[in-house]
Structure 1
Amino acid sequence: MRVAIVTHAVRHNDGQGRVNHEIASAALAEGCTVTLVATHVAPALLAHPRLRWVPIHVGRVWQTNLIRHQVFAIKSALWLRQHRHEFDVVHVNGFISWVHADVNTAHFVHSGWFASPYYPYGLSGGLNAAYQYLYTCLNARLERWAYRRSSVVAAVSEKVAAELREAGVPAQRIEVIHNGVDVQTFAGARGDRRRFGLPDDAFLLLFAGDLRTPRKNLGTVLSALVHLPENVHVVVAGRLHGSRYPDVARTLRLDHRVHFLDFVEDVPSLMHSVDAYVFPSRYEAMSLSLLEAIAAGLPVVTARTAGGAEVIGPDCGIVLPDPDDPRELAKAIAALADDEWRCRLMGAQASRLARQFEWSRMAARYLDLYRRVARQAAHAASGTGEGNRASDTINDRPAGARLIPTDGGEPK
C-alpha cells in the first residue's frame, strides 16, 4: 500500500507530530511505502528505505501562523496534485492543504473552540485578541471545507466527533480513534524530587502545557491553590518565555508553593515525582499529557471541556463540570490530598486504564482504516459499480455505523 501523510512535522516531541510518527512507523513495519509531505521529519525515519520525504519549506520570513499555514497549504497542494496517482491513501490533518483527502484526522476543531463559552478573544480586545479572533474564524471555515471533502474523518475523541457533527460532517463518515501513549516509558520511569528541586514533604500537583495561552487554564489552578492548605504545591512544566503566570503567582503570594520548571525534557521522571495531575483545560481536543499522566499512574483532576476527560472514570480521576470554578477545583484536589490511600488506588487504576491506549493499538486502527479506504477506492476505479469514490461506499453506511470494530465493542 502506498501512503502519503501530510503534516507540518513528524517527530516525537509534540502531539500531532507524535501521532503521525507512530502511524508512519507502523505502516513501514507492515511493508507500506510512505511519503511524508512535511516541513520537519525525525532523522530516524529518514533512514528507512521505503520512506520518502517531500520537504515543504515555509521560510522564516513569514512571522504569523496564519500566513505560514497558508504557504504550506498551497505548496503541498501543488505537489500533491501532480503526484496524487502515486498513492492509494492520502492522509491529512485538519486543514493543512488545498487537496481532497482520503483520511483526515481532526486534532482540533476551531469551530468548537470558537463556540465555547470560554472562548476569550474578540475584535475589541486589542491587536492580539483581534488577530486570534480572525485566526479562529478563518480556520473554522477552512477546516469545515477540509472535513466535508474528506472520505473519512478520524476524530481524536468523542468530544471532537460531536463538534464535527455540529460542523456539518455526516456522522457515518466520522471514526473515533483516540491518540496513544508510550505506556512502557511512562510506567517504568522513576521519580526524583531533588533532581527537580521539589520539596519532599509537600503534596505535589503537576500542571503541564503551553503557558502563553489562557486556554490551558493555569490561572484557575493558581486561584484554587489559594483555597488549599500550605502543604499543597503546584509544579508547572512549560516554556516560561512570554508567560504571565509567574507574575500571577507572585501577586497571589504563592511564590513558595508554585514551582516553575520551564521546559522539562524528562517528563516521565517528573510525573513519577508528583502525587497527582491537574488539567482543567477550557478546550482540548485530546490531551496527550493527560494520557501520559495516567500511564505514569497519576490520578487526574480535569474538566469536561478537556478532550480525553471522556475516558476518565471516578475510579481514576475527578472530572469537573466547570473548568473556571476555583473553589470546586480546590475541593477536588483536597479530596486527593487528604486521602493518601484513595490517591494511590486511583493511580493504580489509571495505570490499568492507560494500557488501552498503547501507540501500537492506535496505529493499527489507522492502518486498518487505510486498507478499507484503499480497497473501496480500488473497487470504484475498477468499475465494479461500488461507487465513483471511496467515500461513496463509506457514506452509504447507516448513521452511527463504524468502519473498524474495537477490541471490546466500545471506543478506546
Structure 2
Amino acid sequence: MTEPVRVDRRVEDLLRATAPRVLGALVRRYGHFDECEDAVQEALLAASVQWPEQGVPDNPHGWLSTVASRRLIDQIRGEAARRRREEVDFARLPLDEQVGAAADRDGAADRDDTLTLLFLCCHPALTAASQVALTLRAVGGLTTEQIAKAFLVPEATMGPRISRAKQRIKAAGATFEPPARGDWPDRLRVVLHVLYLIFNEGYTASSGPELQRADLAAEAIRLTRAVHRQLPEDGEVAGLLALMLLTDARRAARTTADGALVPLAEQDRSRWHRPAIREGLELVTGAMARSELGPYQLQAAIAAVHVEAARAADTDWAQIKVLYQILERISPNPMVTLNRAIAVAMADGPAEGLALLEPLGEDSRMAGHHRLPAVRAHLLEMAGDRSGAREAYELAARRTASLPEQRYLAERADRLR
C-alpha cells in the first residue's frame, strides 16, 4: 500500500493562505463559483502531493492559479469560441510562462479576496451549518474529508452538503463582489458569527473523544486575522480576534496528559500562552477605546479579566458580572444569561445565581443542552446541596456527546456520593 503523503506545516499553512486569493482570481475571471472552487481544491491536492517531493515553487500563487485554471478550462472549453481560443492558446504556453501569465492576467497576486469569499460563503440563503462547511472548504482550504472528520460525519454526508450549498448560492444569483453598502453590517455580522462557530467547535468539540480540535480553532483565528487585516478599524472584528486569542491562550492547560478536562479554576496558569494574551489584551483595549461597544468586544473583555488574574481566587467576579449584565442587555440570549448566573454566584453567592437559572428551564433553546444542568450542579454544590448537585451532574453527563465532558461530569457526580 502506498504511504500517504505527509504535508509539513509550512506547506499546509502556505496552501491555506494562498487558496482564497487563487479562488478569488478565478471567480472574478470566470464567474462560476462552484466550478472554480472545485478546480482550486484539485490544485491544492496536486500541490500537497508534488510540493513535499519537488519543493515549493518560487511563485506558489502562480503555480496554483495555473493548475486550477487548467482544471477549470477542461470543464468550460465549450462555453464560447472566444474563450475557448483564449484558453487553448494559454494552455499551450510552457508552464513557467503560464505561471507568469496567470498572475499578470489576473492582476491579483497581491490581492486578498478573503473577505469577499467569506461574504459569498456566508450568503443568507444558506443554513448556518452550510455556511460553516463552505467557509472551511472554500476559504479555509480544507478538504471535504477533513471537514467531515472535524464534525464527525461521513464524507458521503459532508460532500453533498457542500455541493448543495454551492448550488443554493448559484440559484440565489450571488456574484463575486462585496454586498451592497446597506447590507454590509448584516452580512459582516453573519461572517463573524460563522467564524465564532468554527472557533467554538475547535475550542470545545460538541462531540467525540477529544475536548478540543486545535486545527479548527487555529483556522478560525487565521481567517479572523485575515478579516482584521482588511478591516483594522472595525471594533467587533478586533473584538472577535481578541476573544479567540485570549480564549485559545488557555488551551494547553485545559486538559491533562491523557485528555481529561481541567476546569478553569484548576488550570496551571503558567502554561497559558502569554504572547497570545498580550496580543488579545492590546486588541480589545484598542477596540473598546475607539469603537461602539459590541458583543464580541464584551466577551473579549470578560476573557481579559479571567486571564489577568494570577490565581483563580484573584478573579474580579464583580467586574465580570457587570460585563455580563451589559452583554445581556445588548445581545440577549440564554447562554449569556447562563454565564451571567455563574458570575453572579461567584460574586454574590450561589442562591443568587440559581435564581437566574430558573427561567432558563422553560426556554426551548436550552432544552436538552448539557450546560444548564452542569451549571446548576456547580451552583448547587457551592450551596451545599450534594444530592441535588449529584443528580444535576448526572443529567448533564447524559446530555453531552463529548467524551471528556462526560467523564468530568460523571467524576464530579461520583465525588458527591
Q: What's the TM-score, normalizing by structure 1?
A: 0.25
Q: Which structure's relative contact order is higher, taking Cα pairs within 8 Å and 6+ residues apart?
A: 1
Report the structure, 1 or 2, having the larger helix content. 2
* TM, length-normalised to structure 2: 0.25
Higher alpha-carbon Rg: 2
